[in-house]
Amino acid sequence: MRSWLPSSRSKGALEALLYLLGLTFRGFAFVHLGFAALALVLGEEAWGFLGAAALGFALGYLGTFRGRPKAQPQRAEVFAGVALLWLLVPVLGAVPYWISGGLAFLDALFESMSGYTATGATVLQDFSLSRSLFLYRGFTQWMGGIGIVVLFLAVFPQLHVAGRQAFFAESTGVEKERLTPRIRQTAQAVLLLYLALTGAAALGYALAGVPLFEAVANALATVPAGGFSPNPQSFAGYPPLAQWLGVAFMFLAGVNFLLQYRLFFRGEVGPLLRDAEFRAYVLVVLAAGLALSGYLYTHHTYDLEASLRHAFFQVISILTGTGFASVDFAQWVVPAQAILVLLMFVGGSAGSAAGGIKLVRWLVLFGFLRREITRTLHPQAVLPLRLGGRVLSEEVLRQVSVFILLYTLLFVLGAVALAFLEKDFVVAFTASAQAIGNIGPGLGEVGPMGSYAGLHPLSKLLLVGLMWAGRIEVVPVVLLLTPELWRRLR
């Protein structure tokens, strides 16, 4: 007879998940308290932040009371916990927009999910939020860009085994790299670099002529490759120098953070230059940027400097998933738009803030295709799959193939569903691509100077789901839909 009591293994998994979720909610409660204090100092309404803080403390203490920090869940349970974390935190984060921002709850959830997933798609039309809400909006992207688990692991040592497992579940890429043997020290190194880049971006923007408040808000959204700007014209409302600085910092947002740490804090240039993914990243940026700028210049759209600036700005913005705009590229001719749409499916480097499929996965896939073509010509040849001089296992190839298949399937299903709801294929195609790639702007109604406010409520809900799935890299979503997982947790 099957016992109704949970096994020690499933109980341990559940306790670990509860503790992780509880600690996260408590941490975000303090964040909301901080913004409540800022709102009061600025003479603005703070009830939304206070409400989110109260809810966060209640859920946080419930989770930590019922959970155990030293519990040791299995890999599947950790993936499910990270997926739930990335779903529930934006729900909590929607409360300030709903209470103080005057948004309907679905719009507030859309804005919050877009923030925490560093997507940058917005339902705002008149940009009439308070200054505290605009800073909060950018800060959600800042936290989402580095990763909630990475941020909390760097601050809270009590996460123990569950925290270390969650670090790898949340991190992106084919091969997970550690800077030090201790995961917490690695998380702290990433956080240190992240803070330094944010401060440098804010200072640079301010010196380039961007108002100080907007410089800080834009820096909070640049380094995480987020794209939320307090200016309704995005970077089109700023001087050319600020746009060139945006190009530089968005480029860095798409480079592996651990490699950047070694470069900037240890002076190690070699690891970066030897990295196959970084070389591919530079090549894609140069090829797409020069092709687009050449097209814009030869078609007399802009002068040479403006062609280079807008081309590289938009190429890097879309490639990394930042989503800022230096110009309304929805008004460009179709061939120029096609280059940007293609980049939506490329992505930046693994281990960076960039969204999308990631270049390293494309390198693995192209290596596999090249190997299979060679094997067709030489059936008896032994052909190991290599990346950057290292031999990759067949398990890596399987993981990459499954990810790209699931990613493509979700994108197609999302685009078809949006086409039925919106009756506009361009909007449906680009909205689905940007949502699962965590990019931000699409084309047509949802272009860089447009808004998602006018979409059907079901379209907004679908895009919320796609943004969530894209940020946690699809597989944990499938796990949550697997009955076996819930039987193991029961």
Q: Which parts are annotated binding residues?
A: 119, 226, 322, 438
Separation CA 126–CA 122 (nearest Å): 11
- Phi then psi for 386, rounded to 5 degrees? -120, 150
Q: Which residues are annotated as a binding site for K(+)?
A: 119, 226, 322, 438
Cβ neighbourhood burial of 269 (10 Å; 0-12, 13-18, 19+): exposed
Residue owning tokens 């940058």: 120
**Cβ contacts of residue 176 below 8 Å, gap of 6+?**
168
Separation CA 252–CA 351 (nearest Å): 12
